Structure 1
Amino acid sequence: MSSPYHPEHAPVGDVGAALMMIDSRLKGIHAGRTGTDPEQQVLVQQFAASLGPKGVDDLLDGACTLIFMFMTWLRKAHEDHDKDVIEYVVPNLVATMRMMPKSVRPEAIPTMAGLVIAAGTGLSPNLWRKQYGDWTDEEMTPLEATAFLLAEHINRIADDPDFATRLITEALTRADEF
């Protein structure tokens, strides 16, 4: 019996917009900018405001799809080495988030860990989260941080600062071919 949280039941959302936001953060970090660039924050806020309610929902679903895709890649990479993705990724993610108290409030960490565990076990993160109600404003930055940290983790494993972005771009390109 298929779980109601299986990805086949989940909206994909706007993966392109979510990837653009994560890639922008990755490039900012690698360019040596630390902290939140006020100009970029204004641009992100303007972008989010231009989306409207449906667009924001699509962006949230897209971020969850990214988390699912990143965790799928990480799970396969860890299985190739007879390792459990949950055991190796989640503690590192939680520890990193705990070092980011201005961006990720402590009460958001269990939810973000749950999203990652759901994705790592083949469940849709957005459907898993939906069972607890609507997204809160306080979860927006931690959700972005979660996708960012997973992408950065993948980039470090691959020893390539653009690998995670390329991974998703190539998957989107292949999906368009069908």
Structure 2
Amino acid sequence: MPSSCDPRHAPVGDVDGALMVIDSRLKAVHDGKAGTDPEEQRLIDQLAASLDLQGVHDLLDGTCTLVYMFMNWLRRAHEEHDRDVIEYVVPSLVTTLRMMPRTVSPEAIPTMAGMAIAAGTGLSPSLWRRQYGDWTTEEMTALEATALLLAEHINRIAGDRDFATRLIGDALSRADEDHRNGTLED
């Protein structure tokens, strides 16, 4: 029986915008800065100012797409070593989110764990989350932190602090190329 959370039925959202935000946050973390680079922050602020309600939903869906893609990559990487992604990734994700009480509210952590588990089992995080109603402000911040932590986890595994960003960038480039060549459905 097909799942109502099948990724084929999920909105992709604004993956470019979500990736820009996550990449900016990753660079700030690696550069040891308390905040984001002023130029990158200006771009993020421009993006945020340009968003209407649909744009916010698209950005949330784009971030969920990142979570799905990151968990999919992590699942494959762990399977190569006969490990379960849920067992090895989700507990450290939850532990790290719990260590961020000023950024991530405790109430949002179970939702983020559920989204990561949904993605790790091949379900769409967007569709999984949608079944529980509207996003809360706390969940939006926690979603960004979750995507950031998953990207950083991938970067550590790969030994390359830009690997997760390139991974998504390459996938987007291939999708654009397939679309231009008519091999990707509209």
TM-score range for the pair, normalised by the shorter chain length? over 0.9
Match of 1:92 in 2: 92
Match of 1:127 in 2: 127
Cα distance in 2 for partners of 1:41, 1:80 equals 38
The secondary structure found in structure 1 opposite 2:51 is helix
Cα distance in 1 for partners of 2:19, 2:45 equals 16
Cα distance in 2 for partners of 1:117, 1:165 equals 21
* TM superposition shift of 1:44: 3.8
Q: Percent identity?
A: 71
Match of 2:60 in 1: 60
Cα distance in 1 for partners of 2:5, 2:160 equals 32
Cα distance in 1 for partners of 2:172, 2:43 equals 25
Amino acid at match of 1:107: E
Match of 1:112 in 2: 112
Match of 1:101 in 2: 101
Cα distance in 2 for partners of 1:52, 1:38 equals 25
Match of 1:50 in 2: 50
Q: Per the alignment, do residues 42 and 101 of structure 1 end up closer, same or farther by CA in structure 2, a change over 3 Å counting?
A: farther
Q: Is residue 164 of structure 2 the alignment partner of residue 164 of structure 1? A: yes
Between Structure 1 and Structure 2, how many residues are aligned? 177
> What's the RMSD between the two structures over aligned residues?
1.6
Q: Quick check: 2:67–2:147 contact (8 Å CA) kept in 1?
A: yes
* TM superposition shift of 1:45: 4.8
Equivalent residues in 2 for 1:142-157 (5 A)?
142-157=142-157
Match of 1:75 in 2: 75
Task: Give ranges in structure 2 of 5+ residues lacking alignment.
Answer: 179-186
The secondary structure found in structure 1 opposite 2:164 is helix
What TM-score, normalized to structure 2? 0.91
Q: Per the alignment, do residues 90 and 25 of structure 1 end up closer, same or farther by CA in structure 2, a change over 3 Å counting?
A: same
Cα distance in 2 for partners of 1:120, 1:55 equals 26
What TM-score, normalized to structure 1? 0.94
Amino acid at match of 1:119: A
Task: Give ranges in structure 1 of 5+ residues lacking alignment.
Answer: none
Amino acid at match of 1:160: D
Amino acid at match of 1:87: E
For residues 45-104 of structure 1, give each alpha carbon's deviation from its aligned partner in whole angstroms, at most 9, with x where no partner exists: 553231111111110000000000000000000000000000000000000011000000
The secondary structure found in structure 1 opposite 2:52 is helix
